[in-house]
Amino acid sequence: MKLDIIGDIHGCYEDFKLLTEKLGYTWEQGYPQHPQGRKLAFVGDLTDRGPSSLSVIETVYLLVKNDLAYYVPGNHCDKLYRFFLGRNVKIAHGLETTVAEWEQLNKIEQQRIKGMFKDLYENAPLYHILDNQKLVIAHAGIREDYIGQYHNKVKTFVLYGDISGEVHADGSPVRRDWAKYYKGNSIIVYGHTPVREVREIHRTYNIDTGVVFGGKLTALQYPELTVKSVPSSMPFIAEKFRTFDNQPVVAKQSQ
């Protein structure tokens, strides 16, 4: 199986299009297709903060429906889903941009997008186990012992990461560095925490290079394990990127 796994897009649709073209995809029927039949995979967080969240939803929906892509939900996807269910979610932390786009639509279009997103989300696994378990894709990563399990703690982990319940001074949750202690054989590809360069450690790859914060949008090619990126069209916000002490590990770049 040959895949191009894409990091958190967060509504950066034009950057996503450029990345697929760099990867050799051509856009026909409104979605990217590869001449050699490679498939795409998405680590979640399709929407929020960026300019074109609804176009990303529509494209990923079409890809998954046509069996051309794998998708797992991220925490932003989970929140948008709960918004579409009519739950009382706080319209903040980026959701306000997606909701504003959606509210601009007429009622028929609103129903169409909502229907697509609910279908996409409801049919997505919490995480994908692929290629005879040689590859696992999960939004915030996954602990080795959670692979194959689907209970609530697993859901919290794959959506939010290894959170302890503690918060930083600014109110943001403390995320423990699970990848540092990962000892499994499966390659884990994930996003969720923006980093300046792909972070590869112990067969885990964080490919969220913060496109929505002015970093870049990255694909990890599988099984080649090469990285391809396009620069972001968004303004750069340095404080949104996490650094890891003593571990500036960068996956091999191919341009």
Of 38 and 197, the one with the shorter C-beta distance to Mn ion is 197
CB of 7 to Mn ion, least distance (A): 8
d(CA 248, CA 251): 10
Q: How far is the CB of 111 from Mn ion (least distance, A)?
A: 27
Shortest Cβ distance from residue 75 to Mn ion (Å)?
7
Separation of alpha carbons 182 and 202, rounded Å: 6
CB of 24 to Mn ion, least distance (A): 26
| CB closer to Mn ion out of 45 and 78 | 45
Contact 199, 249 (CB under 8 A): yes
- Identity at 214, one-letter amino acid code: G
Nearer to Mn ion, 45 or 197 (CB): 45
CB of 108 to Mn ion, least distance (A): 30
**Of 45 and 200, CB closest to Mn ion:** 45
Least distance in angstroms from the C-beta of 160 to Mn ion: 11
Query: Binding residues for Mn ion, how many (CB under 5 A)?
Result: 2
Q: Strands of 226-231's sheet, edge to edge?
A: 69-71, 39-42, 3-6, 216-222, 226-231
**Segment contacting Mn ion (CB under 5 A): 3-11, 31-39, 60-68, 236-244?**
3-11
Binding flag, residue 8, Mn ion (CB under 5 A): yes
**Distance between terminal CA atoms of the chain?**
22
Cβ proximity to Mn ion, 140 vs 154, nearer residue:
140
Residue whose CB is less far from Mn ion, 8 or 197: 8
Residues in the chain: 255
- The CB density around residue 27, as the number of other CB atoms within 10 Å, is 12
Tokens of 39: 């498939």
* Pairwise CA distance, residues 88 & 100, whole Å: 16
Applying the rule CB under 5 A, the residues between 44 and 63 that interact with Mn ion are: 45
Q: What residues from 195 to 234 belong to the interface with Mn ion (CB under 5 A)? A: none
x-marked contacts with Mn ion along 10-49 as a string, rule CB under 5 A: -----------------------------------x----
Pick 38 or 55: Cβ nearer Mn ion = 55
For β-strands 69-71 and 39-42, DSSP reports them as: parallel
Strand order across the 128-130 sheet: 128-130, 135-137, 187-190, 204-206, 199-201
Binding site for Mn ion (CB under 5 A): 8, 45
